[in-house]
Chains A and B, each alone.
Chain A
Amino acid sequence: MNMMAIGMAVTGFAAVMVAWGTYLGAIPSGRVPVRPVGAIGLQLVGVGLAIAAIVSSFRDGRSPGVAVILPAAFAVMMASFFFYLFSLRKTPVGDLKVHVGDTLLAFEAMTADGAQFRSDSLAGKRTLLKFFRGGW
């Protein structure tokens, strides 16, 4: 057993998970960083450790055991998934049909209670209308 390789793989996995946890924890409070340098840096360190762990255990002349492969693979998988999601962050703006000074476009929708909602009912009221991505 290459204890150093196991240690590196587990530390790498822990680094990736700490980055994920910190990042996800920032979402509900609306404190998501524009450039998550810490989360990205920490995950690159984690992936580096995971790869180093696998290389190190191969150098031993034996194949790396489950204790190395499992955390190392998860570290690489989770970090790749983070980078993939991060690459999708841009939204296609520019198609907006209304501008400041325009009148609200009349619309109809259903409320969460299943009642019909018409934008006429907003007449005489100040409203903050938010379009959001939905519950998840």
Chain B
Amino acid sequence: MQADLDEYGVSLLALSKDTVEEASIHRTRDKLSVTLLADPKLEVIRQYGVEHQKALGFTTGSFQLFGIPFAFVPSYKSMAIPTSLLVDENGVIRWLDQTDDYRLRSSEARVLQAVKSAFT
């Protein structure tokens, strides 16, 4: 995916409600090469109107049972609705994709299709 984006000179930025520390852990753990942006106060997320209030999220390690961190502890929190924005060199939004079902994301094929039609 990254190689295909490089071909069109598109760099990838990913923003979430994670703190700098969480984003840093996430990047190391999943060996991510994309720039992760931290927006723990949801300022950018609210600015763009992509806040999902009371989304059920899962946190690793916040609860321990007999000293063993419980992997997935559900709790309600505000977070971003998965949304993709393709922006050209003039800062104009060329394509926008948002999900009404958070289980589903912009597929690789759809993103590439959008990149191709915007920049060829």
Contacts and interface: CB of A to CB of B under 8 A. Distances in A.
A101 B18 contact: no
Contact residues of A: prevailing secondary structure: loop
B70 to A, nearest CB: 13
Q: How large is the interface on A (under 10, 10 to 19, 20 to 34, 35 or more residues)?
A: 35 or more
Interface stretch (A3-11, A50-58, A65-73, A92-100): A92-100
Contact of A128 (B11, B26, B45): B11
A88 interface: yes
Contacts of B89: 123-126
Contact residues of B: prevailing secondary structure: mixed
Interface residues of B, number: 74
Contact of A104 (B37, B91, B95): B91
Contacts of A101: 92-93
A128 B84 contact: yes
B111 to A, nearest CB: 7
A108 B84 CA distance: 18
Given A109-B39, A112-B24, A127-B87, A133 B55 contact: yes
Interface of B: 5, 8-18, 20, 22-27, 29-30, 35-39, 43-45, 47-53, 55-60, 72, 79-96, 98-105, 107-108, 111, 115, 119
